[in-house]
Amino acid sequence: MLEKDFGITPETHHKLIERFDLEIKNYKQESDQKLSSISDKTQEELERLRKEIESRNFDIQMLKQKHLVDVERVKQECAEAMDIKYQGQIAQQFRKNDEEKQQLQQEIRELENEAGDSLKIKR
Averaged pLDDT for residues 50-59: 98
**Averaged pLDDT for residues 13-24:** 91
What is the structure's pLDDT at 116? 75
Tell me the residue length of the chain.
Answer: 123
Task: Name the residue type at position 48.
Answer: R
Given a cut of 70, whether residue 26 has pLDDT beyond it is yes
Judge contact between 13 and 2, C-beta under 8 A. yes
Between the CA of residue 93 and those of 24, 104, 115, what are the distances in Å? Answer: 100, 16, 32
Check pLDDT > 70 for residue 117.
Answer: no
Q: How confident is the model at residue 113 (pLDDT cuts 50, 70, 90)?
A: confident
pLDDT at 14 over 90: no
Q: What is the distance between the alpha carbons of residues 8 and 20, in angstroms, rounded to a whole number?
A: 15
Contacts of 13 (CB under 8 A, 6+ apart): 2
User: Is this structure's pTM higher than 0.75?
Assistant: no
Asked if residue 76 lies in contact with residue 84, where contact means CB atoms within 8 angstroms, the answer is: no
Measured at the CA of 57, the angle between CA 54 and CA 61, to 5 degrees, comes to: 140
